[in-house]
Amino acid sequence: MQLDDLYRRVIMDHYKNPRNRGTMEAESVTIQLNNPTCGDRISLQLQVEDGIVREARFTGEGCSISMSSASMMTEAVKGRTKEEALGMADKFSSLMKGDDVEFEEYEDLEALSGVNKFPARIKCATLAWNALRKGVES
């Protein structure tokens, strides 16, 4: 197990400079999810119009993996249709299972492929995507 497999530069960049962190005024749905086993929290705000995710913002507390994953997810789904967003969530689940997945939509996500080798951390990476699913399906 190599630490560099997990903590890639792209991940640390999203951790240090999170995209879409904060809240917005626009009419939106807010989803709050906890990871009860470790205390991670995310609050995800989605503005969906005409079936398209116009904006996404998040706040929360957690480790580098959960927070960088939230940053990447919000960046990846902005401007996508609900179906596209859910499709990416499915692809992200495959990535966590160790499948060879390419994200031509948003390549940064591929940096999280190393999480698969750290089973205890998969739930950190999927927290934001679970919130997205809930928000899009609500």
Q: Which residues bind another protein (CB under 8 A)?
A: 1-3, 6-7, 9, 12, 15-16, 37-41, 61-66, 118, 120-121, 124
H-helix or E-strand containing 113?
Answer: none
* 60 phi-psi bin (left φ>0, alpha ψ -120 to 50, beta other): left
Amino acid (1-letter code) at residue 104: E
Amino acid at 71: S
Q: Which residue bears the tokens 């994200």?
A: 103
CB of 7 or CB of 106, closer to another protein: 7
Q: Which is nearer to another protein, 62 or 135 (CB)?
A: 62
The least distance separating another protein from the CB of residue 84, rounded to whole angstroms, comes to: 30
From the CB of 38, what's the least distance to another protein, in Å? 4
Q: Which is nearer to another protein, 53 or 67 (CB)?
A: 67
Closer residue to another protein, CB minimum distance, 37 or 100: 37
> Any idea what the Cα angle at residue 129 is, between residues 19 and 100, rounded to 5°?
100
Closest CA to 18 of 49, 54, 44: 44
Least distance between another protein and beta carbon 32 (Å): 14
Beta-bridge partner residues of 49: 52
Give me the least distance between CB of 119 and another protein, in Å please. 11
